[in-house]
Amino acid sequence: MRYFFIRPDDLAGEVVTIEGKEARHMGKVLRLKPGMVVGLSDGGGMQGEGRIRTVTRDQVVLEVLSRFPSPREPEGELVVAQALLKDQKMDLLLRQLTELGMTRWWPFLSARSVPQPDAKRQAARTARWERIAREAVKQCRRGRVPDILPKGRLEDVVREAGQYDTCIMFWEGAREPLPAVIDGDADSPRRVLVVVGPEGGFAEEEAEAAARAGFQLATLGPRILRAETATLAACTLVQHLYGDLRKVV
């Protein structure tokens, strides 16, 4: 089944109209016809199904058949703070982390960050990330598009430790694996903040500052991983231990 985004107010109604580029894609590229049923999402956690009534060049009208909370959204919250990597690496990571259930993406600069985009370039990056996140949500049939926060610095991330139930910094200098530093009941919904570094890793003083702020420092094993590999491994482990990778829809 194909999935399409609509406004929250439209999903609450009986009939919805999709216009412009999306409508042309539905009619010309996908060749959807009246009577076909498609999936609908408001991007904020609600989904539904709609039956196509009419298809014209720039407009598709659908009858809303159902609406329901997305069964594929995590009960807790997984926030990933990622030190800036090169463009293609960040793009791919955002897509994959959205598939894994990330709810918020927080890019930041740290001492060893190589990319240093100016405001104009960062704005273009953010716009691209928003498009990628929406595409990934469609692909994996989630109901919520991850929030993309403005670029910050590591110290901004560290200051937010008190807002989360669990804060974990993955650092190659740590001495304990993730299961050894888990705190609290891993089976209850939690707000989890995961922090992963740049290509060169975190400086020791950065890790020490995070630990003082309440972060758990965890290692990803004996091998040195590429930055993007480390992020995927870290978030998969966190989603297995705290999240919904054990859940069946």
CATH of the domain at 63: 2.40.240.20
Kindly state whether residues 101 and 188 are assigned to the same domain: yes
Residue 247 lies in a domain: no
Binning pLDDT at 50, 70 and 90, where does residue 185 land? low
Span 114-134, pLDDT tens digits: 878 888 888 999 999 999 999
Kindly state whether residues 131 and 228 are assigned to the same domain: yes
Residue 224 lies in a domain: yes
pLDDT of residue 189: 62
Residues of the chain with pLDDT > 90, as a percent, come to 69
Inter-residue contact 166 to 192 (CB < 8 Å): yes
pLDDT of residue 81: 97
Which neighbouring-strand residues pair with 192?
78, 166
203 burial level (CB within 10 Å; 0-12, 13-18, 19+): middle
Q: Mean per-residue pLDDT for 171-192? A: 80
Report residue 99 as tokens: 């598939």
- As a whole number of angstroms, the distance between CA 81 and CA 139 comes to 23
pLDDT of residue 244: 78
Which neighbouring-strand residues pair with 153?
109
Span 210-242, pLDDT tens digits: 999 999 999 999 998 999 999 999 999 999 888
- pLDDT of 186 over the 70 cut: no
Kindly state whether residues 138 and 170 are assigned to the same domain: yes
- Residue 239, H or E segment: helix 227-241
- pLDDT of 184 over the 70 cut: no
- pLDDT of 188 over the 90 cut: no
Span 202-212, pLDDT tens digits: 999 999 999 99
What 3-state DSSP class applies to 226? coil
* Average pLDDT over all residues of the chain: 91
State in Å, rounded, how far the first CA of the chain is from the last one: 16
- Residue 19, H or E segment: strand 15-19
Q: Which domain holds residue 65?
A: 3-69
Rounded to the nearest 10 degrees, the angle between the axes of helix 87-100 and helix 227-241 is: 10
pLDDT of residue 179: 84
5 burial level (CB within 10 Å; 0-12, 13-18, 19+): middle
Per the rule left: phi > 0, alpha: psi between -120 and 50, beta: everything else, 212 is alpha
Kindly state whether residues 61 and 81 are assigned to the same domain: no
- pLDDT of 247 over the 80 cut: no
Write down the pTM of the prediction.
0.87
Kindly state whether residues 33 and 121 are assigned to the same domain: no
Residues of the chain with pLDDT > 70, as a percent, come to 96
- As a whole number of angstroms, the distance between CA 100 and CA 93 comes to 10
How many domains does the chain divide into? 2
